[in-house]
Amino acid sequence: MLRKKQMNKINNIGVLTSGGDSPGMNAAIRAVVRAAIYYDVKVTGILRGYEGLINNDFVDMDRKSVANIIQRGGTILKTARSDAFKTTEGRSLAYQNLKAQNIDALVVIGGDGTFTGANIFSKEFNFPIIGLPGTIDNDLVGTDFTIGYDSAINTVVDAVDKIRDTAESHDRLFIVEVMGRDSGLIALRSGIGVGAEAIMIPEANMNVDDILHKLDHSRKDKSSKIIIIAEGDDAGGAFKVGEVLQEKYPQYDTKISVLGHIQRGGKPTCMDRVLASRFGVAAVEGLLNGEKGVMVGQINREITFTPFDHAIKHIDAEKVSSTWLKLIDILSF
Ligand code: F6P
């Protein structure tokens, strides 16, 4: 058939989604399933991430089970954050269940928590695993973009454009909180995209006085002001910053908007669908060519494989360089 001569024999690939869902996860599942079938490999779905491995929640996947899902947000395999998988007992149960199902390799789709678990498990049992970066946070090293990031920032831009209309009509200052517990990358790009007057992100170490200074120096002819703050910023979230600003800046009628989980749902953008499709095929081909313990990524349009140890490092100086922060200052001046 179409299957190449494999370096290591893989007859059955398990696929799961884990951690916070992200738009495009379904497109990634579809690509993994279709690529496995193309190479004549069986593919088994695992429900609710690592919880499904431990609880024996397996489903056979075929071409039809992934039909008509490329455009859907969420994940048809469901997802969870598993505490049991953090224990040695949980992981050895998962390994026994995988063996009983004759699954020889895994594709895990998720973020840093997912890859931390995969890294430990693959070393503990010498089990081949490849990760696909599926998180709206874009906070993984070894890929320019993660699956879901583009959709999430477009959701933010859409929401904040609406907020700008009303802010402008009422001459108001809005503090908009976006997701990103450990990372300000959603705030950074969406902030540029909406023409924010300032952004507050964990990586930039900015306090409320810095924001006041920026507001003083931003365009005077623009009666509305938008500050985008990442959920994980040290200043403590939109409500806390709002209180201080209202006190120090009484001339502004300050309003707060927390966008929350709408950023995680909805149709994936075409960018995310294509990225997920490419990653899914690369993961299957990578496994068949002997890759393991790595995350698939795309850097400068090329497919890359980065060891889990490195991918979960969080800090990517390029992604949060001062050049990006300066861009906001220049554009709101
Ligand atoms: O990691 C993805 C993410 O959406 C973060 O941006 C956010 O901080 C976190 O998950 C929220 O997680 P939960 O849905 O479990 O509250």
Q: Which residues pair with 305 in a beta bridge?
A: 296
Task: Indicate whether residue 137 lines ligand 1 (CB < 6 A).
Answer: yes
Q: If we measure between CA atoms, which residue out of 23, 34, 79 comes closest to residue 53?
A: 79
137 is catalytic: yes
Q: Residue 284 and residue 100: Cα distance in Å, rounded?
A: 21
Q: Which residues touch 8 (CB under 8 Å, ≥6 apart)?
A: 128, 290
pTM score, whole prediction = 0.95
Take residue 75 and report the two structure tokens written for it.
Answer: 């994940």
Task: Indicate whether residue 134 lines ligand 1 (CB < 6 A).
Answer: no
Nearest CA owner, ligand 1 atom 13: 20
| Active-site position among 104, 112, 137, 233 | 137
Which ligand 1 atom sits closest to the C-alpha of 19?
1
Greatest pairwise CA separation for the chain in angstroms: 72
Mean confidence (pLDDT) of the chain: 93
Q: Are strands 58-60 and 42-46 parallel, antiparallel or unpaired?
A: antiparallel
Mutational test site, ligand 1, from 81, 179, 231, 314, max ligand atoms within 8 Å of CB: 179
Q: What is the pLDDT of residue 223?
A: 85
How far is the centre of ligand 1, averaged over its atoms, from the C-alpha of 333 (Å)?
A: 32
Task: Indicate whether residue 135 lines ligand 1 (CB < 6 A).
Answer: yes
Helix (H), strand (E) at residue 17: strand 12-17
Q: Residue 157 and residue 177: Cα distance in Å, rounded?
A: 12
Token pair 């749902």 is found at: 265
Which ligand 1 atom sits closest to the C-alpha of 139?
1
User: pLDDT tens, 35-81?
Assistant: 999 999 999 999 999 999 999 999 999 999 999 999 999 999 999 99
Written as tens digits, the pLDDT of the chain (333 aa) is: 445 555 568 999 999 999 999 999 999 999 999 999 999 999 999 999 999 999 999 999 999 999 999 999 999 999 999 999 999 999 999 999 999 999 999 999 999 999 999 999 999 999 999 999 999 999 999 999 999 999 999 999 999 999 999 999 999 999 999 999 889 999 999 999 999 999 999 988 888 888 888 887 776 677 899 999 999 988 889 999 999 989 988 888 999 999 999 999 999 999 999 999 999 999 999 999 999 999 999 999 999 999 999 999 877 777 777 888 888 888 887
